[in-house]
Amino acid sequence: MTIVSLPKKSASSLEFLLNDAGSGAASQPSGETFLREDASRSSENRREEAEAASAARDDSALLDEYSRTVVSAVARVAPAVVNIDIKQRINVPRGAREISGNGSGFIITPDGFILTNSHVVHGASSISVNLQDGREYPAQLTGDDPDTDLAVIRIDAPQLAHVRLADSENLRVGQLVIAIGNPLGFQASVTAGVVSALGRSMHEQSGRLIDNIIQTDAALNPGNSGGPLVNSAGEVVGVNTAMIRPAQGICFAIASKTAKLVAGWLIRDGRIRRGYIGVAGQNVPIHRRIVRFYGLPFETAVLVVSVEKNSPAQHAGLREGDLIVAFDDQPIGSVHHLHKILVGEQIGVSAKVTVIRHTEKLELSILPVESRPD
């Protein structure tokens, strides 16, 4: 037998390799460790994928719920939304000619009263109403109030669907609203959006200020005027009235609380009775010392610029330069406040008007009369 001895150099190299292999085995992860880490990563990936799928399902469910809400609200209200066609005679240099227009409205009672905008039917020589089921009826003007841009017309028809007017005071910014109307002649068009702002004010063509206006981004177009603005429960919260043409997503509706009040007066009296006291006024600031001394709630008042002869104001003793700060114990901070009070039941009822004359606070008795029609 032959025994071979390795050279010392080879032996040391072999020892190094063996030692290096041993240390490598100790420092490198085993196959089992690799399998465990791979299983852990796979578990994490599956969990992330499951969470993503769940989120997608939640989003889909939310979209489905949103769609169902809009569909349900439209189904409740759309049968009561009508298309209004009008004809109007205007004078031109060569004589009179007839023009046509259209808008929207909605039935508010089962006996055929329809609420719409004043500017849709004002001055119309004839009015016709098209229902959702295709029926067409002539309509009569029941009442018209340009100062609030609201009007009521009536048709004589059986089996009419009608809407419910909700309390617009319960609206919140960001709440879902749906506009239904007949823009550009396309019947029963629906747009959805949110309440962008509440309590806006807007000047009407008559110059009066309408308050409690709802701002929404639900798209309105010509022909939408007079249609309902609806909440998710299918209740009317406003009457679509205007849009700002150069802007995108800025549209307005008259609050249902105002519409309900005005519609009641128009159905009962055919018009809104407004009081007259015979003063011309403007909004002015009050000196801070006077505000603090008398504890006034507003820092502005109505300055009496002129007093008409033989008017209730003259009989009451109002003078030019007086500052009206209250009427019938209700604080007055602007001409608009005074206009709001001088409506309906206040006519023909003696009231107390509070004024600041120079620095003295006076209380005068006044009897408003009904405003003369223009």
Residue the block writes with tokens 């009608």: 162
Q: Dump the DSSP string for 124-188.
A: -SEEEEE-TTS-EEEEEEEEEETTTTEEEEE---SS-----B--GGG--TT-EEEEEE-GGG-TT
User: Could you tell me the two tokens for 128?
Assistant: 């016709």
Annotated catalytic residue 189: no
Catalytic residue among 85, 104, 119, 168: 119
How many C-beta atoms surround the C-beta of residue 300 within 10 A?
Answer: 17
Chain-centre distance for alpha carbon 290: 38
| SS3 call for 4 | coil
Annotated catalytic residue 119: yes
Residue the block writes with tokens 């009296």: 269
Residue the block writes with tokens 């969470």: 51
- Residue 155 phi, psi dihedral angles, 5° rounding: -120, 155
Catalytic residue among 149, 196, 322, 337: 149
Residue the block writes with tokens 């009179």: 96
Catalytic residue among 168, 225, 322, 337: 225
Q: Identify whether the C-beta of residue 106 lies closer than 8 Å to the C-beta of residue 163.
A: yes
Annotated catalytic residue 13: no
By annotation, the residues acting in catalysis are 119, 149, 225
